[in-house]
Amino acid sequence: MTVERVGTAIIGGGIAGCALAYYLAAEGETDILLVEADEMGSGSTGGSFGGVRQQFSTPLEIELSRRGLEFWRSAESVFDSPVTWHANGYLFMSGQPDIVAKLAEAAELQRSMGLAEVHVLDPEQIREVVPWLGTEGVLGGTYTPNDGRVTPTEGVAALVRAAKARGVRFREKWEVRSLERAGSAWRLSGPGVIEAERVVACTGYWSSDFLRPFGLELTIRPVPLYAAITAPALAGHRVPLTIDLDTGLLIEREADGLMIAILYENNPPGYGHARMLEQFAELARVRAPSLADLRIARHVVSNVDLGGDGHPYVGLVEEGLWMVAGFGGHGAMHGPPVAELLARTIAGRPDQSLDIEALSPWRPPVAAAEWMVAAKKG
């Protein structure tokens, strides 16, 4: 069998892999091939809600969010490719005193890092921003009007186009069945055989199984997210990406309709669209009465890569083998800036203002450091 030899092989064509391909090429790296088991952006990226927010609780995630926000807001002009930015805002709310206090504490940290448009709201102020929302039992929330949402696959298309212009090659329907050492190189076996001097695994929620043979015990796992897109609703109303942290209720704008879901860190046994829609209707009667009897246009299901301490795993696995994965459902917003940081590290020109060593895949497991993973609390 003919062996194809390349300088760098990137495994995985989601937003992180495609961004890495572009940024490595921008750093002057050559002979880069990205292989994708299915189609570009068909994994978690394709099913992502595309929310881009500043609201996190650790300095690292806040800085990644600042950079991710800049990436998405400027992508259309930077890449001269259609990447629509929907400036709908982001709203977290809760009726739990400890959660509301933590939201306010996080907002103070965000503002101290230069993110000025972060507002701590009481129930009356929440109703002023979102009049269609019911605030019975709500004690407060945090609102970032300059946040928004994107269509992540538009970003993938823009990055692929820009990377191709810099000489990167892309190959779809090329599933890597095994990865092993071949002397000083790495051998990827799939529909053919590729030998690469360097490999970067951008394999999303498959990463735990894929990298276990190299001694890594990652906690990334896929959690199905059951959502639905509604018929036209709330015409003329502002609809920030709204999350009730007490119930997991999620509402966001999707064209002239809405995307709705209930967010769990682990779905209850037997959970699916039918139960989600029943729960949504029950919760909406309190939280958003006008949405209790929405007509559903279609169902959506995607896998979110949960697990870990709220930070992605980024860095060297062993000589010549790197990885980036485990964004906890935040790959759309954090994937591009993390990919840029990793590309600079691989190219020997690390970003001096942000050390990614803390994201090493070999770091010891710890209790969740970033608590603002969008899901039901308590």
Q: Is 44 strand, coil or helix?
A: helix
Q: Mind listing the pLDDT tens digit for each residue in 321-351?
A: 999 999 988 999 999 999 999 999 999 999 9
pLDDT band of 47, cuts 50, 70, 90? confident
Domain boundaries, the chain: 3-49+152-220+308-359, 85-149+222-302
Q: What is the mean pLDDT of residues 298-322?
A: 90
Sequence-distant (6+) residues with CB within 8 A of 18 are 34, 40, 41, 155, 156, 159, 160, 163
Question: What percent of the chain clears pLDDT 90, i.e. is strictly above it?
Answer: 87
Q: What is the mean pLDDT of residues 292-301?
A: 94
Q: Is 136 strand, coil or helix?
A: coil
| Beta-strand runs (E) in 263-372 | 296-306, 313-318, 321-325
As its CATH architecture, domain 3-49+152-220+308-359 has: 3-Layer(bba) Sandwich (3.50)
**Distance (Å, whole) CA 340 – CA 234:** 38
Q: What is the mean pLDDT of residues 152-181?
A: 98
Q: What angle do CA 345, 350, 353 make, to 5 degrees?
A: 140
Rg (CA), the chain: 21
**Distance (Å, whole) CA 129 – CA 110:** 20
Q: What is the pLDDT of residue 155?
A: 97
Q: What is the mean pLDDT of residues 6-23?
A: 98
- Please say if the pLDDT value at position 277 is more than 90: yes
- Please state the CATH superfamily assignment of the domain spanning residues 85-149+222-302 in this structure: D-Amino Acid Oxidase, subunit A, domain 2 (3.30.9.10)
